[in-house]
Each structure stands twice: as structure tokens, then as C-alpha cells.
Amino acid sequence: MRTSILLLALATSSAIAAEERPEDRWNLGDMYASVAAWDQDAAKLEAQLKAFAACRGHLGESTARLKSCLDAFSDFNKRYARMETYASELLSEDTGKPESLELQEKSHALGAQLSEATAFLRPEVLKLGRAKVEELLKGDKSLAIYAHAMDDIVRMAPHTLDARGEGIVATFELSSGAAGNTYRIMSNADMPWPTVKLSDGKEVKLDQSAYTHYREVANRDDRKRVFDAFWGKWKEFERTYGVTLTEALKKDTVYTKVRKYPDTLTRSLDANRIPPSVYNTLIAETNKGLPTLHRYFRLRAKMLGIPAGEMRYYDIYPPLVESTLKYSLDQAKTMTLDAVKPLGEDYGKALRTGFENRWMDAYPRPRKQSGAHMAGSAYDVHPFVLMNFNDNYESVTTLAHEWGHAMHSYYTNKSQPFINSDYATFVAEIASTFNEAMLLEDALKGAKNDDERLLYLGSALEGIRGTFFRQAMFAEFERDIHARVDKGESLSGKKLSEIYGEILRRYHGEKEGVVKIDDTYTVEWAYIPHFYYTFYVFQYATSIAASSQFADAVLKGQPGARDKYLKLLSSGSADYPYELVKAAGVDLASPAPYRAVVGRMNRVMDEIEAIEAKRNRK
């Protein structure tokens, strides 16, 4: 379900926004007036699932029978998508409310029931065979909306079990996230966070939120203290996190064998029919682009006043440009609306509607979920955006990012029937990073001075480093460790740190004298939650590469570029994601998009160096 598109870098804040207005809180009542109304829909869903059992063994009896079963399937999945979104977002707005946690647990249990109740569908369709399915679909034009979904089932024939086997696999859904859940509880609730004393005498408890804040402080010695204490604590639990992640990898290998795939990478990508060449080309081209990343680190060292060859891993987070500029929520909305004007009046009107009708929960509050995300699965309602806006430019880019997701859901839900309204992450992150690219270009045009330009350019550099190079680095690590477990190799926390450390040092140019990395910091893999979402992070890197090309084409006014992009946003899952992106003009199995984003990074650095050179001449 497309219920939560996570922002990669989760910015946290415990401050309460003094200026919060009622219109700055979302209105979940657009989905359900109350939990009692949700419970009524839950009863309807359970009744629908019981009735759906009558379809078992009868899908191929006639076109009419197939239609009634598929329509029922679509309807109760649509109902559950709204229910799951409501339960999830009710908890997001107050994570300490027991009643909301209970509702989410009820939602998860219903999801498991749904999986079990529908487990027979795929093997039964497969038993009918492609020829019979196509014959039934041709019997009623209204069934055309199911053609892609049926094709997606039929093509998986070599990897699908019989009804009994699929039912058994479905029962394992209740424990499928055990390793990830253990990680989340351990890393968020049970870790004995260290306390560090800073140079000004202040003592700070370094939980994850404090770490993301204090790793950016100006005092270099304090940054080292923060890194040493934070990663030292993770190092103490290296064995535990090694067991947890290895268990997740083993479970993936079991599913790979059950589904009869040669390796987990192929199985994972085949869920959306993404060619493995996309993944492998990304990593190959990223490695070719490492001199550009190293150029960035050298530029960063120079701008931070760090002597050549002395940059350390704890120097990669402080902002390149210190800025006192503040942006109100209303300013951020206006900047985003101005930035997306090249997409046309309809896009801007839809975005403004969302801003004005409480589709967003904007400000941080105690116990509110940290970070930012978009929930777009309430098909007959509208998307919902969660943020923790804190008045800086990063918050402006986050707003543009999340509303890129929201507009993607808006256009897809508007254009596609529910059965085709979901979309893959492979496409999702294009919509968000496209908006970031548009925001940058518009902000640069309106910059009042070089300091402001440097703020925007520095933010863009960090975006490319964090979204392209860092995620590709994670992807390379993930490919390596999955391949090892697929081949039967045993892993430990120590071994995982060795594997991650080699990749980390290569990406940061340690041999070239660019960035020095202490052994303790190589336990960073244990901190990354995305490794529990099999082969997920690579899509951030492919998406920013694709969106860079799309944004460039739209901004240049290339004929048809805007229409192709909006068609991509409107396509949902009407086709496979790689094919949709390719039809819009970008082939992510080719080197071109990755070379384009590397080229963009070089151009940004050219402009920064030109500004710095001008200042030095004065």
C-alpha cells in the first residue's frame, strides 16, 4: 500500500511551533469522523472478506464471475487502504496515545486477514493460464482496468505456489517484519544513549534526534566528541545488530528460494519488473563519479577552513554556509507554488487546494512522529502530508519534496481506477526530487545576494551527496551482503562493519587523502533502518538522476516535456515503473541519467567556486 512515503533524512525537533494555527493541522476527519466510524468500516471489511471466499475455485467460470470477484477485490482493498491510512496517521500525530497504537494494531491484524483471504487469487489466476485470462477479459470492456494487474500475476507463474502453498506463505506475514521491529524498538526506545560534555560545559544525551542536531555544530572538537560517543555506543551493540540484520537477510534468502529466483536482488526487483541492469548500472556509474564526490569533500573542507588532507568523517554534516535566514510556513508554500509554475495552472491549482484545505500537519509537537512523510492511499479522499516545519531552508525543501509526493498521488488517484492507483517507489521519489530541483532553480533566480545563493547551492550539493551518492553507497553494501547470505556465507556484526567500512572509505576517498574515517564509525550500517526494507534505498539514487533530467527538460521548455512528466504522475501502476519512466524520456538502465546528475553536481560546484573566487579578489 502507498501509505507512507518516508523522507530519507528524518529531521527531528521537540519544539512546539508558537505560530501554529488550526489550519496548520491536517483534518483526518476527511477520512473518518471518529474511531467508531472506522470500526464500522472494519465490520464491513470483515464481511466482505468472508463473502470473497465464494470466489475461490470459481474465478474462471465466466466473464461475469471474474468481474464480480475482481470488483469486490478492488473495493475491499480500497476500503482497507483508507482504514490503514487513518490508523497510521492518527498514531503519527500523537505516538504516545495508547488508543491510537491499539487502532494501528487492529489495522495490521485486518491486513493479515486480508492477505489470507485473498491468498488463493494469484495461484487460481495462474491455473487459468494466460490464454484463458485474456479470453475472459475480452468478454467485458470494463475489465480492461484489470489487464495490467492480471498480466502482473500471470508473468509470475514460475515463482508462485499452489493455493495451499500461498496460504502458508501468507500466514508468515504476521512475523515478516520481526527483525525490523526489533531494530526499531532497540534503536529508538531501548538504547542506553550516551551523554557527552561539549566544550561549553553543556552535557547532552545523544539519542538519534540529538545526534542529528549536534553532528552539525560549528566546533570541530565537539563534532568529534559527538561522533565518538554516538558511534561508540552503537559499536557496543555491534554483535546484537549484526544478528538482527543477518536474520532479516536470511529470511529474504528463504523467500528467494521459495519463489525460485537465482538471488534476492533479482527477486526484489522483479516485483516491479525492474531490470537488474538498472541497479548494476547505478552502482557502476556512481563509482565512476566518485572523483566528483571527492571534489565536493575537498571544497567542503576548504569552505569550513579544514587544512588539506585533514578532513574527517565528522566534518561532512555542518552546513557549508551559515545562514540566519528564516522562512515562514506561508513563505515556503509561496516559494513552492512559484517553483512549480512551469508545470502549468492545473498543477498549481491542485497544490493550492491542498495548502488551503488542511491536507498537511505542519509543525512539531511533543509525541508527534518525527521527520516527514506523505500518505496517499486514501483514494476517495486526498493525500495527507506530515511535516515538522522549523523555519529554515531545509524545511522549505522538505515541504516541496513531500508535496511532490502528494501531487503524484493526487494526479494518479484522479486519473486511474483504484486497482491502478498505487505506484512504485521507483517512480515515487522522482516526483519529490523533481520539486526540489524546481525549487532550487526558482530560489536561485530570486536570491538577493551571494550569501543567499550560497545557501541554496550548498543545500543542492548536500541533496545530491545524500540522495545520490550516499544512497548508491548503501545500495552497493546491500547488494554485497545479500549476495553473501544467498551463497550461504555467515555474517556477524564485525564482518558487516568490515564490509561497510571498505565501501565507506572508498566512497569518501580515504586512500586519496580526501576524508579519514575512524574504525569506530564503520558500525554506521547498524544505524540505517532502510536495510530492513529489501533493496529499497537504491530508488532514491535512481529517482534523483531521473528527476534531474525531467526538471532540466521542463525548465528548458523542451516540446512535450511537461506533458510527458504529468502523464508519468498520472499513470499510477497502469504499467511497470521502469517502462513508465522510459516512456517519459529517461532510461534508468543506461548511464546517461547518472552522468547527468554527476554533471549537475559539478556545475553547482563551479558556481560556488566562482562566488568564492570573486570574494577572494575583493
Catalytic residues: 402
Alpha-carbon distances, residue 129 vs 118, 228, 465 (angstroms): 18, 59, 47
Distance of alpha carbon 111 from alpha carbon 131, whole angstroms = 32
With vertex at residue 445, the alpha carbon angle to CA 442 and CA 446, rounded to the nearest 5 degrees, is: 90
Cα–Cα distance, 558 to 436 (Å, whole number): 19
Q: How far is CA 211 from CA 13, 155, 317, 469, 513, in A?
A: 12, 46, 11, 22, 26
Residue 604 contacts residue 299 (beta carbons within 8 Å): no
DSSP state of 574: S
Residue 374 is inside which H or E element, if any?
A: strand 373-375
User: Residue type for 554, please?
Assistant: V
Length of the chain: 618
| Cα–Cα distance measured from residue 285 to residue 509, given in angstroms and rounded to the nearest whole number | 16
Cell 516559494 -> residue:
335
Buried b (16+ CB within 10 A) or exposed e, 540-560: bbbbbbbbbbbbebbeeeeee
Q: Which amino acid is at 108?
A: H
Q: Mutual orientation of helices 592-617 and 276-288 as an angle, nearest 10°?
A: 30
Among candidate residues 255, 307, 321, 302, the one with its CA nearest the CA of residue 482 = 255
Number of CB atoms found within 10 A of residue 615's CB: 10
Q: How far apart are CA 396 and CA 117, in angstroms?
A: 44
DSSP H helices in 273-324: 276-288, 290-304
Locate cell 554483535: which residue?
239
* Per-residue cell: 63: 466473464
The DSSP H or E segment spanning 254 is: helix 238-258
Gap between the Cα atoms of 601 and 460, Å rounded:
8
Give the distance, in angstroms, between the CA of residue 219 and the centroid of all CA atoms in the same chain: 32
Contact by Cβ (8 Å): 588, 278: yes
φ/ψ of 360, rounded to 5, equals: -130, 140
Integer Cα distance of 49 and 52 in angstroms: 5
